[in-house]
Chains A and B, each alone.
Chain A
Amino acid sequence: MLSTRDLVAGYDERTVLDGLDLDLPTDAFTVIVGPNACGKSTLLRTMARLLTPRRGTVLLDGTAIRELPTREVARRLGVLPQSPLVPEGVTVADLVGRGRQPYQRWWRQWSSEDGAAVDQAMALADVTDLADRPVDSLSGGQRQRVWIAMTLAQDTDALLLDEPTTFLDLAHQVEVLDLLHRLRSERGRTVVAVLHDLNQAARYADHLVAMRAGAVVAAGPPREILTADLVRDVFGLACVVVPCPVTGAPLVVPAYTGGNAPAPAVAGDHSSSTASVPDVRPSTGDAANPLAGSHPSKGL
């Protein structure tokens, strides 16, 4: 349903995406991952027509998105930007109601469908109890659910979310991801999210897109594509990938990186419970690893 063809996009002088071709599966939860500044947000914003590409096309059900009226796009494609500005003093119900904008005109400001959609969206995102509260008085987790409710009120087949879990604590991250999962499994929505946490991506995604430097390195089901080699390629991080004890999905554990990081509890001894885990600790000389320079624990 959503695809890009030869997409070139960027900001001012900088080209972020250079000729990207991508097809996102319908009725799936797609997660886009990649290191900072790899272009994942740019890709999401361009697909959501928030950013105009310099060249190439975004196709929504086979039609170039920029040839569709923006109101019509808004009825088929919801988008939650990275850190939306919280309007001062607006109540939750009010903000969720803004999601009905694509169905309204100044002379037709509200209909019974609007009311039903807002009610349903608030119930789905579990914010019904907050309806009369001002959004700026809520906690980060509640706010994020309200924003998601606003995009749900748009009643679209597809939903794009740019880092919906950033700035949330772990419990709230899981809450938001569970909600997105429900939307996909129970409502049949197509969900596309940019996430930072690889393990959450692996746990929740039906389809994983790994990006580096504006290009797609791998795309497919996490269990098939998420390997230690991929993580090394994409993030420049040496790691161990083991099955998650809860879901069986791939679980990425950063490898021991030498003196800069806390030492493993059983350094050098893998004979006990971790026998199945291959030893991927790099030698202390990082020269062997061309990407080691970008390791996050370096230079700290």
Chain B
Amino acid sequence: MTTTRRSSGPGSAGSAGLSTVAAAGSSGADGARLPGRSLLRIGPVSLLIRRRAVLVAAVLTVLLLLAVVLSLSLGTPYVAPADVLRALSGAGTPYDLVVFDLRLPRVVLAAVAGAAFGVAGTLIQSVARNPLASPDVIGITQGAGLAATVALTSGMAAVLVAPTALVGGLLAAVLLFALGARHGLAAQRFVLAGVAVAFGFRALTEVVMLTADPIDGLRAQIWLIGTLAGKGWTEAAWIAGTLLVLLPVLAWAGWALNSSALDDDTARGVGLRPVARRIGLAGTGVLVAAMVTAQVGAVDFVALVAPQVARRLVRAERPPLVCAALLGALLLVLADLAGRRLFAPTQLPAGVLTAAIGGPYLIFLLQRGRRRSS
């Protein structure tokens, strides 16, 4: 049994600002007796934080910063990490153009999009009660994909591709909710409805693809796999803006996820409204997924892997939202870097690499988990 211990997460994105306040604000209140948790008090606000999650978030943040510097440094021309740091500090170096204009937008986009995929995956998996659920299992990716394919093969202006894809993703979401709502968006129904939506949209996409001009078809194919090439600030701003607007909802979601494992009767018994909660969680997840997929394409293997890996790192019973976001960011930054450099000058889309990096790691964790539990 633990008494309240102040959490002191150095440098983690989610808690760095808060913990300093907590040190001043919490005055020996007893209360958080839940194993592995600490109570964080800021005035009237009290949050339960997993101590291990703070640690994992801190480590992931450091790794993410290292990956960003590495990504800014590697390439042609090579920029030494020290010069990258000098350039970032605004010292004015000959590498400013390469670092700021060529590489930084893409790295920031990778981090932001990866974080968004991590968040979307966590929310979708909790509603689906299934660690394998991701935006492409429930049809959001395919909805965005169909719209993007139509846009790319019909000669629509390039700036309109992402908004069109967003509309497609949201359309798939509406269909998903309409099909899945009948039994209160219960897990199995949610997944089945999603699979149906996914197949429908994929079939339509293939029809469009086959009837299109081969060159356009190839462009659509690359979009579907997901790539960050040629993208940057605009896409990053859209995704970051969405996450920012949803921040209060995400704060609620981080709390609501704690009870998502309860069955409906038990949840109602403790005064929750499970259906409303599922609609809220799924709606948020789907919105984030549609936005990020519309901007960068189907890099959604990150959404599948990041929550589960984060969950195992934190050793929690459900994916932790902040850690999943950080891990998603790290994963996509690394995948994009590998895609740029591994077979340079040939660039592989990040979507190919996320699967190549994330898959084996997930298998490794599953193996380790099995050995421990047996």
Contacts and interface: CB of A to CB of B under 8 A. Distances in A.
A111 B45 CA distance: 10
A66 interface: no
B263 A115 contact: no
B45 A107 contact: yes
A223 to B, nearest CB: 32
Interface of A is mostly: mixed
B34 A94 contact: yes
A193 interface: no
Contacts of B363: none
B39 interface: yes
Nearest to A109: B48
Nearest to A105: B255
Interface string B295-328: 0000000000000000000001100000000000
Nearest to B268: A50
A64 interface: no
Contacts, number: 110
B270 A106 contact: no
B262 A98 contact: yes
A154 B330 CA distance: 41
Interface residues of B, number: 34
Nearest to B29: A112
Given A78-B269, A93-B33, 15 more contacts: A70-B272, A84-B263, A85-B263, A85-B266, A87-B262, A93-B35, A98-B258, A99-B270, A101-B270, A106-B254, A109-B48, A109-B255, A111-B46, A112-B31, A119-B33
B45 A88 contact: no
A282 interface: no
Nearest to A85: B263
B269 A50 contact: yes
A99 B48 CA distance: 15
A108 B256 CA distance: 13
Interface string A48-88: 11100000000000000000001111110011110011011
Contact of B46 (A89, A90, A102, A109): A109
B39 A106 contact: no
Given A85-B262, A109-B48, A74 B317 contact: no
A110 interface: yes
A132 interface: yes
A34 interface: no
A261 to B, nearest CB: 37
Nearest to A78: B269
Interface string B271-294: 111000000000000000000000
B272 A101 contact: yes
A166 interface: no
A74 B255 contact: no
